[in-house]
Amino acid sequence: MKEPEHIKSWVLPWPGLLTANNWRTSMSEALSEMFPTNTVVVGPPLPPSSFSLTLTMFSSFLGVRGFWIIDTVIRPFCLTCWYSLRKPWKLGRPNPGGQLGKAVQKRRGVEHGPKAIRDAGLIERLSNLDYPVHDFGDLSFQNLDKDEPYMQVPFPRSVGRANKLLSEAVGSAVASGHTTVMLGGDHSLAIGSVEGHARQCPDLCLIWVDAHADINTPLTSPSGNLHGQSVAFMLKELQNKMPELPGFSWVKPFLSAKDLVYIGLRDVDPGEYDILKELGIQCFTMRDIDRLGIQRVMEVTLDHLLSRKQRPIHLSFDIDAMDPSLAPATGTPVNGGLTYREGIWITEEIHNTGLLSVMDLVEVNPVLGASREAVEVTASLAVDIIASSLGQSRQGGPIAQTQTLKDDTEQLRL
Ligand SMILES: NC(=[NH2+])NCCC[C@H](N)C(=O)O
């Protein structure tokens, strides 16, 4: 949903901040005080209804922070209308979850991830964190009938189009001042999510927590799968290594290699290794985590990204970063992953910066769980990761700034 230009012009590219002193601003402030909406859950698929269009237009007339807030105001009266609108909006083929899972990977089922995560109690959990939570439902993705593979990349046009839709949804949510959570789906969705975020916050930095680097180009990819290539679409430094993939002409590289940090890597393809080395990207593999400890890894990560200036963080969290014993229901599990406590440490530290602006939680695949329990364990881990990123703490209250090793030792002595 594209935001009319004049709205963007008075919304600072920073979540939650407004500028300009006109009647529109005060109106929007009054409304957002009454109906503050800090967290948006965007998950494929969101109903592309004429209803939301009307809301967008109405909200732009009022000058509210995008249509999301006016949506909050109106929606309680329109709940049935909203949800009943959803049914006839199955676009294309009769699969309401969209078909991105099928399109991107040979192993299907990842399109059911958002439902599994919601069923595991995401919204309730976030509501307990003093966040007014707003679930915008699912985006409806459509598989194009004519979508021949490009080189060995399957369904490029469908995936490109789905990402464009997602980019617009995330961009709108961010422009409206919301902290946004994108539920996948597979990791190719990060292209749209990070791109939409970067349009609003061009100076963002990206923390990619994953077993895989997902930085193959279509030329280096051993599988052709786009979920293993997302980062390559983003990086300015790879611009001339990327062939023109049909469906992706709208993505212009927007991120510098220095603004990206990987955590949790343990399955890196040879072509990816070369790219990471050549571009000097800051990576913490599982080996580095073993060596340094997760606390030091996070210290260096945040220092690397934020020491020059404070800026919005995009966290792209692939559930396969976690050890498969904790997250078995995923498409490309790799042994030797993050422990529960390491995963939660990462998210707590990111939350502590106060700079988390958008997060993705991807690759929960309910179809690939060996049992119902396996699916539930994975989905509830995803809920824990999201909740912790958004402020759930293990000590029942705000966490004090992380102490340095020296302080820790001094405190121990006391
Ligand atoms: N998001 C993921 N699960 N990525 C897995 C990628 C696996 C492999 N490196 C590939 O490019 O095909």
DSSP assignment of 72-110? HHHHHHHHHHHHHHHGGG--SSS-TT-SHHHHH-SS--G
299 assigned to active site: no
Residue 380 lies in a domain: yes
Residue 410 lies in a domain: no
333 CA to centre of ligand 1 in angstroms: 10
Q: What is the pLDDT of residue 315?
A: 98
Among 175, 270, 159, 172, CA closest to 215? 270
CATH number reported for the structural domain that contains residue 41 in this entry:
3.40.800.10
- Our count of domains for the chain comes to 1
Rg (CA), the chain: 20
Residue closest via CA to ligand 1's atom 11 equals 228
Residue closest via CA to ligand 1's atom 9 equals 228
Q: What is the pLDDT of residue 41?
A: 53
186 assigned to active site: no
Pocket residues: Cβ below 6 A from ligand 1: 187, 212, 214, 216, 221-223, 225, 227-228, 269, 318, 320, 331-332, 363
Please name the residue that has the structure tokens 């340095």. 404
Query: 3-state DSSP call for residue 181?
Result: strand
CA–CA distance, 384 with 335 (Å, rounded to integer) = 21
Query: 3-state DSSP call for residue 356?
Result: strand
351 CA to centre of ligand 1 in angstroms: 27
Say if residues 202 and 81 touch (Cβ distance below 8 Å).
no
Residue 411 lies in a domain: no
Say if residues 263 and 301 touch (Cβ distance below 8 Å).
yes
Among 410, 384, 392, 299, CA closest to 351? 392
Q: Which domain, by its residues, includes 115?
A: 5-403
Query: 3-state DSSP call for residue 136?
Result: strand
Interaxial angle between packed helices 340-353 and 294-306, expressed in degrees from 0 to 180 and rounded to the nearest 10? 30
Q: Sort 393 into a burial class: Cβ within 10 Å, 0-12 / 13-18 / 19+.
A: middle
288 assigned to active site: no
| Ligand 1 closest atom vs CA 188 | 1
Residue 414 lies in a domain: no
DSSP conformational letter for 22: S
261's enclosing H/E stretch is strand 260-265
Strand order in the sheet with 39-43: 133-138, 39-43, 179-183, 356-362, 313-318, 205-209, 260-265, 282-285
Pocket test for ligand 1, best of 217, 225, 368 (most atoms within 8 A of CB): 225
356 CA to centre of ligand 1 in angstroms: 25
CA–CA distance, 55 with 306 (Å, rounded to integer) = 37
Residue 220 lies in a domain: yes
Q: Report the chain (414 residues): mean pLDDT per 10 consecutive residues.
A: 30 24 33 40 40 42 32 23 22 29 61 95 91 86 88 95 96 94 96 98 98 98 97 98 97 98 98 98 98 98 97 98 98 98 98 97 96 98 97 85 53 44
| Ligand 1 closest atom vs CA 269 | 9
265 CA to centre of ligand 1 in angstroms: 11
210 assigned to active site: yes
Q: What is the pLDDT of residue 124?
A: 92
Residue closest via CA to ligand 1's atom 5 equals 228
* Rounded (to 5) percent helix, strand, coil in the chain: 50, 15, 40
| Cis, peptide link before residue 185, omega less than 30° from 0 | yes
Catalytic residue among 71, 320, 323, 360: 320
Residue 174 lies in a domain: yes
CA–CA distance, 365 with 107 (Å, rounded to integer) = 9
187 assigned to active site: yes
208's enclosing H/E stretch is strand 205-209
CA–CA distance, 250 with 192 (Å, rounded to integer) = 10
269 CA to centre of ligand 1 in angstroms: 9
Residue closest via CA to ligand 1's atom 7 equals 228
Catalytic residue among 214, 272, 348, 349: 214
| Ligand 1 closest atom vs CA 186 | 1
Residue 213 lies in a domain: yes
212 assigned to active site: yes
CA–CA distance, 185 with 98 (Å, rounded to integer) = 10
Q: What is the pLDDT of residue 176?
A: 92
Residue closest via CA to ligand 1's atom 10 equals 228
145 assigned to active site: no
